[in-house]
Structure 1
Amino acid sequence: MMKGRPVQDSEPLALASSLYSPLDEELDEIRLVTIAPNQLDGPLLCTLHKLTLEDIREEYSVFKTSVDEAGKPARNITVQWAQTHPMQHRTQLNNPEQPTVSSPSVTSSRFNWGDFAALSYVWGDEQDRRNILLNGTVFSVTTSLEIALRALSAKNEFQDDYKIWIDAICINQNDAIERASQVSKMREIYSGAWSVIAWLGESDKAGDTQKAFHFLRRMASLRPEEQDLARIMTEKPSFIEESFFFALHEMMTRTYWSRLWVIQEVVMGASSTVLRCGANSLEWETFCAGIAVLYNGKNWNLKDHLLRKERVHRNLSDDQGWLTTSLHLVHQDLRLLVRYEGEGGDKLNLRRLLEIASSASCRDVRDKVFALVGMMEPGIAHEVVHNYNFDIPRLFAAVTKAFILHYDNLEPLRQANPWGKQGAPTWAADWTWKGRMRWSRPESDFAGPLVNSLDPDPKPESIYNAHSGIPACYSFLEDNLNILQCDGFLLDEIAGLGAPEYGYFDWSKERLVQCASWRSSYGDQEATASALYKALLGGRTIKGKKVEDRHSALLSLPSTFRAAFSQFKRRGWSWLAGQEGYYFKWQRWRHANDNLMLGTRPLKSYFTDVLPKDAEEVTYMEVYSTACRMVMERRFMLTKNGYLGWAPDNAYESSEMNQARVGDVIAIIHGCSTPLVIRPYGSKFQVVGEAYVEGFMDGEAMDILRHSNCQPKMFDFC
């Protein structure tokens, strides 16, 4: 289950026994590698050493005590130590733009035997292999790793006292017990390393990697007021070349960014991570600062335009836009996590962990969980690691249980649904479900000029308060984690449904489910219109702030980009005018749902395509961005009692059986900040997913419980 491969059947056990004597966990032993100078002919020469992390130099031990080690991240202590002790610096020959390579000197090493780095890399094709000599014994590794080792050898970096940890070599892959123990030790190894080498692969012949690193350094050097890239390219044409955007795109679509294990490795390296691609290198903080510039102002739209332009110039197909998954991974997740790792701070909530797991791949489904253990709160991680040998359904249930117990709430039920393929209980999040979409949450940032991307997101549980703060009351009824029992009450029932999302780019208009008997409980036409725009915005805008009266502007947001563009342009709203490549979210959702009847009137009758004379750009940016966020992963719904809202959607499933349905009921669960759509299942219930009901997201449902015949209920979720 480790990122390293299992030993092939043809490899004799004698090889493992000769190289791998058992590690003593009480002495905190690990194995490390040194690499001999590059040999042009013949296999690369490496040496495997077994060493203890407890063999700390007295000076470093005193230093750790002096900086108050308790409570400080390991990375923070290492960085402080490095800043106050001399290092060895080697300028890279024939490449003056590359930073000098630094390694610990004899006096700055933390251990009596020296110090170590850790390698983060992609294994590559298991069938494409090369031999190295490890302690004089022929040892097979993937070609991808052998190339990385040769590149490191060429710089004479990991010899003598400075060593490197490499999972495929330093772990006895033939020992299942040892492999399992390393899962809980990965965080310690990568966070305790002097640096983490993020090996992206070989340089490309066209030199795009070098251009990309050069581009990122230049963007990172810009002050906030200088970050209008279009203006820079006009005023200083030589500062940024158009081809740089293509080069950056190529680098960010390398396989490295799609492997789940590298996320934990990079984060644990924090500010001490160094990106390496062939002979090119880039410091992590410079890398993140450069990426962040793309998220400012109109730069996001510019990157799409210049990518297409360069593709045409290179005689490539011009219909490919930016593949942004890795950009979002770096900017939304890794950048913030690295900062937390260096400075301290909250770990990822369950939703963010699930999004990251969905954005990357791994060979073993269970690694969706274990590759991210280092991103979890220590108490949760401790419980999860104990479940290493669980089958997948039980593992997913155990992880959700760990989150519930740690925080003593039922917020994890917001991530549950019955649509996962792994057979877990519906109350437990399936880490392989494809329907989670980044940017769809009320706490998510917007790309563009509205927010400072460095501002922290609000906690998801702080945005809504449907349960009025009533604490969770729950129990797990069976040892195999099949049943979760909890308290709450029934609120309503789904009576009509808008169009379900069809993949990321469209909606299935023909699958509207009308409700002829729906009557608005909000009041007259004006009150219903007010409820409609609030519902469509999820009652929240930037950073989870509550909608205001001005956000009724959504009702005059043009339904098509064609109708919008001239109006935006005439008002000088350049950011909105540049949204042609993204306006499809609002445009196609409207097209699919305009004929949903809200009683006697179709939804489209509440809208106009004409902007009012006093329209303010920032308001329309807010409602546009919020609406585009809300239409993802949600399906508009009408309720039996005359309310509007959102049911959970399943965008990558065409079967009607795997969708929210008319007749599904809506419940308030104590300890969960949003309502849930649930489905009767015999005497029990399935969790269908998180719901939004306009008018009941801030505790109003408690009045129904107190002043009506509604009765508290105990739910058994299966």
Structure 2
Amino acid sequence: MYDALPNATSIRVLDLLEASSTRVRCTMHVVNLETNPAYAALSYTARNPITVHDRRLSDPVALHEVGNPQLPFERSITHPGPAVVPKSFAIVDGARREYYHQTLEHVHNFPYEDVNYPDGPPRVIEVDGCAVQVGENLFRFLASLGELRKQMSEEPLEASELLEARDALRLPIWINAVCVNQEDLEEKAAHVTLARAIFKSALHVFAWVGPSDRLGDRATEAIDIILGYIHAQELRQGDPLGIALDRPLPEEFTMSSILEMTTAHWFALFAFFQRRWFRSAWAAQNIILARQAYMVYGENMVDMSLVVRVLTYLDNRGLGPEFCAFGRAFLTGEPVSDPGRYVTKLLAAANLEGAEPSPASVTEALVVEPKDIFTFIRGFHYIRQHRRPRLTSALSALRDLDTTDPRDKIFAFLGLVDDELGIIPDYGATIQDLYRTATVATIEKRLRLSILSHVQDAQNTNIRDLPSWVPDFSVRLGRVPLDKGTTSECDFRASGESVYRLAANPNGTLGVFAIRIDTVSTVTDMDVDPVSQILKVALGLPAWYPDKPLSWCLVKAGGGSSSEELRPRTVSRVEALWRTLLADNVKAEGYYPGEFADYLGNGFASWVLRDILETRVGIHEHAELEKMHWVRSLGVDSFCSKLALWSAMYDGHQVVAHQELNNIHIPYYERAIGKLYRKRGDEREQYQLDLHLGIPEPTVGILHFPTANRLMECVGDPVDELDAEIAQEHLSGAYRANARSRLTSEERKGAASFEERMRIATEGRSLFRTPRGRIGLGPRSVGKEPGCKDEIWILSGADVPFILRHEKGDRYRVVGEAYVHGIMYGEKLGAPCNWEDIILV
């Protein structure tokens, strides 16, 4: 059946003769891409595409019994906590309860993740009279294609887009699993190289995301709702009278802002985007290259641009983190609504993380990472905007997506990049050899060490026997690299204009020229109670940062011209802290250098203020619940602790030892408020004195940090009434909205802007401090290996610093890239430098 192809640009395509749920029959012929043939191409995944399913609960009647451990919206927790906390308690989750009531027509089905759901036995299709085995998922697509053809041939069509879709269905189709001889490794490798041409030349690409199910049907409703919401917003933005919408655009956008979207809609959409196709590296390549693409779901066909539009909108409005956390919590047993998350956060902050939960409350990790859907859509836009970027840039954008064969983490992206690295797809090569070859080729091509920014956390390494400086591309990186491999995307120049001049050794080591800067002493992951965790690390710094970091400034020249220049500045530890949390990502189009940085600095102050207020409002929310009085107790404890940390930062104290941190805790609520009153009085006196002395711009407190006066204004407000502009969120409960209502509109916007940039910079990273008073961001594994010393180095040819773990002598292992405030722009190259020859193993 597979005769040799006549030339390097020839491919086989299928003509579908008959397709139903019981039989598929087709013929195959050869076309030459150089003749511009008319055909379609299929993008799909071989395995069962659905990863989130729903099942019927065993006894729906019993679910209404209070305390039933199977209650789908109740989370039971058992732990050996302090005496103030009951040994066992339950949290009723409002969002889960809403979902339960919104899906009653499904007879009490509840969702769960199962990536090993049976695919079904292989099916047989007929190709040129020969029986060919295919997977169940491919057979279902062909059956759906046949049904779609039948539907469109029987219905009268007038709209041009429907006529175009009908014509697309009639085209011959290229399907990798059938049109390529999978037994011929040379042909298979040749088609990997040809993939770019195949998908770019196809008139249409069909993206088969899988068969229909209950969750998928509701997800398509959700897509329609969001598209309608987007359209209504667009109308209103051109309508100053606001008559196109009957409600104002929300100031801070959340999932609750789209009122027509129920909890059931949001979860169904989440489950739909958990399907395998949306996290496939090959699917991303296919759809990026496509001229025109259709998503085929069951017996439905949707223009893929509409799906892209929905995902892009959710991402651009900053809904990604909330959307992913919402869906993840639904499947793992964590609280979904904010009130439940508040209680869980209090327990974690009270050092109850090590508790033994009951089986009903065990949190399981998801196999399919929810964030990958936004990796998919961001990578889609990035590659299309940058045309053919470098391999390091493509990996930065798409590396976290899945492939069945680890080699495809390189091969899948070769058709998207312009690097002439000499890498030829070879499925006979070992994974280790391929990854090392790709790494060395990238270094030698650019004489830069940007590819080292892709080194994963050591505990995540999957491929054995890789040198520490060679990334294991088969696993998720889990963070956005600081150096994406192009000068236009990396402002940092830690090693100046130096280039890499040594070479990789045959024994698998890499020689580098480097400067030792500092060591890592204190580390926090920022994932339990971020504000408290980062303030505890920052308190170990001196009040004024030890280095004079370079910052971008607007320098005016003669003739009214101006330019951006890096200038050294003395900065407080507060500024060093918030700039580190952003990895100094403080530029924005339309702003002068320093202007947007000041806005983000104020956003940091608002973010800290909002966190303290949320704890304060949480106390009030639970004040009247007698049986939950321990929640109030923990809330008061958390609030007082945050005020104590704020006070120590405000007063300029340096607290290095962990024991000293415990000593600054204020034990009583009344004392905390009293101290705040006194500080407010001091601020007012200082302000009046500055006015009396004629100081033109009197300052109060610390720049970019909440003042006592502002804290007192917010904390002293009654918390039983919501601001009229802040709608109560049906997915989150009232306490977060209540806290936000205490902030001004500008503070809310600033906090949201800061938090979004901070999330990007800190995701997958830990905050650390050094003995010399520096602060930085590094891999999750930094400082986690007992008995090991993690050191900060500047490597010649690397734009960012790296954390290296000393082995012996001059040999080091790469832990990962780092942001260290004060050394990112070559500050350490001005003084005499002690360059050393070291070996990376």
TM beyond 0.5: yes
Out of 629, 632, 636, which is 2:763 matched to? 632
What SS does the aligned partner of 1:365 have? Answer: coil
Please list the CA deviations of residues 291-325 of structure 1 after superposition, one character each: whole Å capped at 9, or x if unmatched: 3232455866997999899x99xxx9983999842
Structure-2 separation of matches of 1:406 and 1:226:
51
Whether 2:449 is the aligned partner of 1:389: answer: no
Return the match for 2:509 from 483, 490, 510. 483
Aligned position for 1:211: 221
The question of 1:264 aligning with 2:294 is answered no
- 8 Å CA contact 1:501, 1:632 repeated in 2: no
> Does the CA contact (< 8 Å) of 1:355 and 1:437 recur in 2?
no
How far apart are residue 133 of structure 1 and its match?
1.0
Task: Say if 2:310 is the partner of 1:290.
Answer: yes
Structure 1 CA distance, aligned partners of 2:805 and 2:258? Answer: 61
Q: Does 1:619 align with 2:750?
A: yes
- Go from structure 1 to structure 2 and tell me whether the alpha carbon gap of 1:161 and 1:170 turns closer, same or farther (over 3 Å shift): same
**Residues 245 and 368 (structure 1), Cα distance of their counterparts in 2 relative to 1, 3 Å cut:** same
| In structure 2, distance between residues paired with 1:443 and 1:225 | 40
Amino acid corresponding to residue 666 of structure 1 in structure 2: I
Cα shift at 1:190:
1.2
Q: CA deviation at 1:32?
A: 0.8
Separation in structure 1 between the aligned mates of residue 382 and residue 538 of structure 2, nearest angstrom: 44
Name the residue aligned to 1:78: none
Q: Measured at CA, do residues 351 and 515 of structure 1 come closer, stay the same or move farther in structure 2, by a change above 3 Å?
A: farther
Q: Distance in 2 between matches of 1:673 and 1:411?
A: 7
In the alignment, the residues of structure 2 paired with residue 638 and residue 238 of structure 1 have an alpha-carbon distance, to the nearest angstrom, of: 42
Shift of 1:691: 1.8
Q: CA deviation at 1:361?
A: 2.8
Cα 1:678–1:441 shift into 2, 3 Å: closer
Question: Which one-letter code corresponds to 2:455 in the other structure?
Answer: A
Relative to structure 1, is the Cα distance of residues 505 and 196 closer, same or farther in structure 2, using a 3 angstrom cutoff?
Answer: farther
1:69 maps to none
Cα distance in 2 between the residues matched to 1:411 and 1:238: 41
Give the structure 2 partner of residue 561 of structure 1.
611
- Partner residue in 1 for 2:805: 679
Aligned partners of 2:258 and 2:455: how far apart in 1? 51
Q: In the alignment, what sits opposite 1:548?
A: 597
Question: How far is 1:164 from its partner?
Answer: 0.6
Deviations 1:130-157 (A, max 9, x none): 1111111111111111111112123447
Q: Which residue of 1 aligns with 2:840?
A: 717
Name the SS for the 1:31 alignment partner. strand
The answer (yes or no) to whether the contact 2:406–2:474 under 8 Å persists in 1 is yes
* Aligned: 1:251 with 2:272: yes
What CA deviation, in whole Å up to 9, does each residue of 1:247-299 have, x standing for no partner?
A: 43342222321333211111121x41111112322222222223323245586
Q: Which residue in the other structure is 1:410 paired with?
A: 449
Whether the 8 Å contact between 1:219 and 1:289 is mirrored in structure 2 is no
- Contact 1:48/1:134 (8 A) holds in 2: yes
Counterparts of 1:511-530 in structure 2 under 5 Å?
A: 521-522=546-547, 527-530=572-575
Contact 1:409 1:671 survives alignment (8 Å): yes
Distance 1:412 1:150, change over 3 A: same
Aligned ranges 1:433-512 → 2 under 5 Å: 433-434=475-476, 436-438=477-479, 440=480, 461-478=489-506, 482-494=508-520, 496-500=521-525
1:627-661, Cα deviation, whole Å (9 max, x unpaired): 3344333333333433222332239xxx943x8x7
State the secondary structure of the residue aligned to 1:628. helix
Counterpart contact for 1:501–1:633, Cα < 8 Å: no
The whole-number CA distance in structure 2 between the counterparts of 1:468 and 1:50 is 54
Q: Aligned-pair distance for 1:599?
A: 4.2
Distance (Å, rounded) in 2 between the aligned partners of 1:619 and 1:25:
59
User: TM-score if structure 2 supplies the norm length?
Assistant: 0.59
Deviation at 1:700, TM superposition (A): 0.8
SS at the partner of 1:534? helix
Q: Structure 1 counterpart of 2:753, which letter?
A: E
SS, match of residue 608 in structure 2: coil
8 Å CA contact 1:275–1:282 kept in 2: the answer is yes
Q: Which amino acid aligns with 1:561?
A: D
CA-CA distance at 1:178 after TM superposition:
1.6
Q: Residue 564 of structure 1 contacts residue 609 of structure 1 at CA under 8 Å; is this kept in 2?
A: no
- Read off the aligned partner of 1:649 and give its amino acid letter: R
SS at match of 2:415: helix
Q: Could you say what secondary structure the match of 2:144 adopts? A: helix
**1:392 Cα deviation from its structure 2 partner:** 1.9
**Shift of residue 550 of structure 1?**
5.2
Residue among 136, 141, 151 paired with 2:134: 141
Shift of 1:120: 0.7
| 1:581-600 aligned within 5 A | 598-599=655-656
Change (3 A) 1:216 1:459: farther
SS in 1 for 2:830: helix
Pair 1:24 & 2:12 matched: no
> Which residue in 2 is equivalent to 1:647?
778
CA deviation digits over 1:409-434, x for unaligned, max 9? 11112222571232311111111344
Where does structure 1 lack aligned partners over 5 or more consecutive residues?
A: 1-18, 57-109, 445-456, 569-585
Superposed displacement of residue 328, structure 1: 0.8
State the TM-score, normalized to the length of structure 1: 0.68
Change (3 A) 1:715 1:701: same
Cα 1:387/1:672, change in 2 over 3 Å: farther
Query: 1:450-501: CA deviations, max 9, x gaps?
Result: xxxxxxx9967532121122233232222x6x1222323222233x122246
Partner Cα separation in structure 1 for residue 206 and residue 572 of structure 2 = 59
Asked if 1:52 is matched to 2:32, the reply is yes
Are the counterparts in 2 of residues 416 and 689 from structure 1 also a CA contact under 8 Å?
yes
Alignment partner of 2:146: what SS? helix
Partner residue of 1:91?
Answer: none
Letter of the structure 2 residue corresponding to residue 20 of structure 1? Y
| 1:667 alignment partner AA | W
Return closer, same or farther for 1:292/1:386 CA change in 2, 3 Å cut-off.
Answer: closer
In the alignment, is the contact (CA less than 8 A) between 1:518 and 1:640 conserved in 2? no
1:122 corresponds to: 45
| Aligned counterparts of 1:485 and 1:301: Cα–Cα separation in 2 | 40
Q: 1:433 to 1:517 in 2, by over 3 A?
A: same
Match of 2:466 among 415, 420, 424: 424
**Number of matched pairs:** 583
Once the two structures are aligned, what percentage of the paired residues are identical? 20
For residue 350 of structure 1, report the CA deviation from its aligned partner: 2.5
Which residue is 2:176 aligned to?
167
Q: Is the alpha carbon distance of 1:488 and 1:31 closer, same or farther for their aligned partners in structure 2, counting shifts above 3 Å?
A: same
Alpha-carbon distance in structure 2 between the residues aligned to 1:376 and 1:238: 38
Give 1:333's match in structure 2, choosing from 361, 379, 382. Answer: 379
Q: SS at the partner of 1:248?
A: helix
RMSD of Structure 2 on Structure 1 (CA): 4.9
Q: What per-residue deviation string (whole Å, max 9, x for no partner) do you get for residues 14-40 of structure 1?
A: xxxxx11122334x2211111113357
Q: Please give the alpha-carbon distance, in whole angstroms, between the structure 1 residues aligned to 2:580 and 2:325.
A: 34
1:44 and 1:150 in contact (8 A); partners too: yes
CA-CA distance at 1:222 after TM superposition: 4.9
Distance change >3 Å, CA 599–CA 468, structure 1 → 2: same
Distance in 1 between residues matched to 2:289 and 2:570, nearest whole Å: 55
